[in-house]
Amino acid sequence: MQTLSIQNENGIAIITINRPDVLNAVNDVVVAELGQAVQNTTDDESIGVIIITGAGEKAFVAGADIKAMSKMNAEDALTFGQNGQKMTMLIEDSPKPVIAAINGFALGGGCEIALACHLRIASENAIFSQPEVKLGLIPGWGGTQRLPRIVGKGKATEMILTGEMISADEAYRIGLANAVVPLNELSKTSLKMAESILKNGPNAIAQSLASINAGSGLQIKHGLEMEVKNFSELFGTDEAKEGLTAFIEKRPPKFRS
């Protein structure tokens, strides 16, 4: 891949967006490669958790590539926007948890990639913003849809209408970041969270993500119906038998070979 590197660390895939000269700005090559990398790591049975991060110490992703966008007409922008949305849906729909390890600026499309991830861990120098209105644009890769679902409509509206940057601490305060750690501990903390998830049943994890994602668009009554169906289906799996038996036998469960 031209714009990404992928490592497998004991069942945890680390995908690094690697265009540090432009603060990891996302052009159409990154959109295609990131989508492919998420698909490949999702399909890889040796992988249980995926981490997405940016190269260098300054940026996770400073947005869609503004130089590339300056040459687009409305038709090009529609294709670029739709391809970016497909890539974010691959992240959100992955049955394997995707953690954004946010190592600096997460702006515009960079914030939107982080929003599509299931969990977000920020370094202390991370900065979040949806600054599209400053360019005469609006978010196009899910910012108007996912940000209100994560931080609430009021705060999301403020961020999108002002385009102002917020600090990692503020992102944590409003529930946008799950944790804030010093930059030199970001990788270790992200891996630790991934390892703690890896101890749990992979089907249960996939069904948890599916239930949370599907439920956010449903009325509570329909969400509860879907949840109990997913809950009961797990009773047919070896994984649930192992989890329940291990508790009774007072031993740790063994979910993965």
Q: Where along the sequence are the contacts to ligand CO8 (CB under 6 A)?
A: 22-23, 25, 62-67, 77, 80-81, 84, 105, 107-109, 131-132, 135, 139-141
| Token digits of residue 33 | 């490669």
Nearer to ligand CO8, 67 or 71 (CB): 67
Q: How far is the CB of 77 from ligand CO8 (least distance, A)?
A: 4
Q: How far is the CB of 62 from ligand CO8 (least distance, A)?
A: 4
Give the C-alpha distances (Å, rounded to integers) separating 10 from 23, 179, 192.
28, 23, 12
Q: Which of 33, 57, 92, 112 is catalytic?
A: 112
State whether residue 40 is helix, strand or coil.
helix
Q: How far is the CB of 94 from ligand CO8 (least distance, A)?
A: 21
Nearer to ligand CO8, 17 or 23 (CB): 23
Nearer to ligand CO8, 14 or 111 (CB): 111
- Residue 112 annotated in active site: yes
- Residue 233 annotated in active site: no
Question: Are residues 198 and 190 in contact, defined by beta-carbon separation less than 8 angstroms?
Answer: no
Q: Residue of minimal CB distance from ligand CO8? A: 108
- Give the residue carrying structure tokens 């360019």: 135
CA distance 9 to 142: 30
Give the contacts of 171 (CB within 8 A, at least 6 positions apart). 120, 122, 126, 128, 177, 180
Residues carrying an active site annotation: 112, 132
